[in-house]
Amino acid sequence: MSPEPLQTLYWEDDSLFLLDQRLLPGEIRYLQCRTVADVVTAIKEMVVRGAPAIGISAAFGVVLAAKEAGAAGGGLSGLQEAITALRSARPTAVNLDWALRRMERRLEHAAGGTCEEVVDALAEEAQAILDEDILTNRKIGAHGAALIPDGASILTHCNAGALATAGYGTALGVIRAAVAQGKHLHIYVDETRPLLQGARLTALELLREEIPATLVTDSCAGYLISAGKVSLVIVGADRIAANGDTANKIGTYTLAVLAQRHEIPFYIAAPCSTIDLSLEDGRGIVIEERDPAEVTMFNGQKIAPAGIDALNPAFDVTPAELISAIITERGLLQRPDRAGLKNLLTKGER
């Protein structure tokens, strides 16, 4: 029997426990965050990563900030500063802002209560965000599985699995749901340079559940797709603009172009909390630039000559016209566009 999926994060003993994803696949170790500063650092340093998982972590960060403020005896005055620090920990995934807004709304409602009451209300809200995320991913899986033919071979990039969420995953959730329906799939996993989320995390998730998978270098995608070895591409998302342009891990755009060139579907699987109607199109999405040392170093070893310039954007934007469908908890949006996305967000469950 395959083991339970790894638990990305949980709340216990007034602390947030994060599976330290920097150590995977070699070691399973949880980092205990006792303060909001611990959570900000964990998000920045990618102890926890993946759009939904960083949103949930930030929500618990607000709980810790409220506890600290209460313990310091100064009321909740310092809380906004902590929320700002959480909000700016990573810039691209809108789920961070979405979760913090939700916490701010709860804070507003709870204001007037004692510090203890406010902390309890915030802890309840953060836990609700976590619990809902798993249900959301199961719905994404159920909707998306309808798009996956039996016998498909699927290319995925980065990690949009249980490890990027509270559990089950978005793109990997669709794969899990299709496998649960008895479909036979083969997954090609892009290693995802420079931080290797595909090789370290997606490969681990698939292996633990015995879903047939093959690890490939990122530069292998064109070869595989042109050789007819890939039936479809499915990935997650960090922010979807109002017109459907989608930011995801660097290298995603390349896959979408390849998919169009070779006439195979390119799917995005993401919760509605990843949709940002405040941005007209993908040009407004801030792309995180990470330390160039992630490119020039590997495992603490220099892999490039000292003095070479290196660029390390963590995400890119795929134009909506290259996306065959966006799979959300509310249903599928084929050929996403402005009207379709607006409709999806304003309508109830489909």
The encoded tokens of residue 84 equal 């700002």
Distant-in-sequence, close-in-space partners of 170: CB < 8 Å, separation ≥ 6 = 52, 137, 140, 160, 164, 236, 237, 269, 270, 271, 327
Inter-residue contact 62 to 121 (CB < 8 Å): no
Q: Which of 190, 209, 218, 238 binds ligand MRU (CB under 6 A)?
A: 238
Total residues binding ligand MRU (CB under 6 A): 18
DSSP 326: E
Choice among 218, 238, 245, 276 that is catalytic:
238
Residue 248 interacts with ligand MRU (CB under 6 A): yes or no:
yes
User: In whole angstroms, what separates CA 196 from the centre of its chain?
Assistant: 15
The encoded tokens of residue 61 equal 């960060």
CB of 233 to ligand MRU, least distance (A): 12
CB of 285 to ligand MRU, least distance (A): 12
The encoded tokens of residue 167 equal 């559990």
CB of 162 to ligand MRU, least distance (A): 9
**Footprint on residues 143-182 left by ligand MRU (CB under 6 A):** 158, 160, 164-165, 170
CB of 99 to ligand MRU, least distance (A): 13
Contact window for ligand MRU (CB under 6 A) among 12-20, 35-43, 232-240, 260-268: 232-240
Annotate each residue in 253-292 with x if it binds ligand MRU (CB under 6 A) or - if it does not, as one string. Answer: ----------------------------------------
Inter-residue contact 168 to 138 (CB < 8 Å): yes
Residue 314 interacts with ligand MRU (CB under 6 A): yes or no:
yes
DSSP 312: -
Quickly list DSSP for 164-183.
Answer: GSSSS-SHHHHHHHHHHTT-
Q: Which of 39, 47, 52, 56 binds ligand MRU (CB under 6 A)?
A: 52
Annotate each residue in 63-102 with x if it binds ligand MRU (CB under 6 A) or - if it does not, as one string. Answer: ------------------------------x---------
**How many Cα atoms occupy the beta-carbon half-sphere of 267 within 13 Å?**
31
Query: Please, which residue, 251 or 331, has the CB nearer to ligand MRU?
Result: 251
Residue 139 interacts with ligand MRU (CB under 6 A): yes or no:
no
- In angstroms, the CA 350 to CA 341 distance is 13
- Is 238 labeled as catalytic in the residue annotation? yes
Number of CB atoms found within 10 A of residue 114's CB:
10
- In angstroms, the CA 39 to CA 59 distance is 10
Where does this chain bind ligand MRU (CB under 6 A)? 49-52, 93, 158, 160, 164-165, 170, 197, 235-238, 248-249, 314
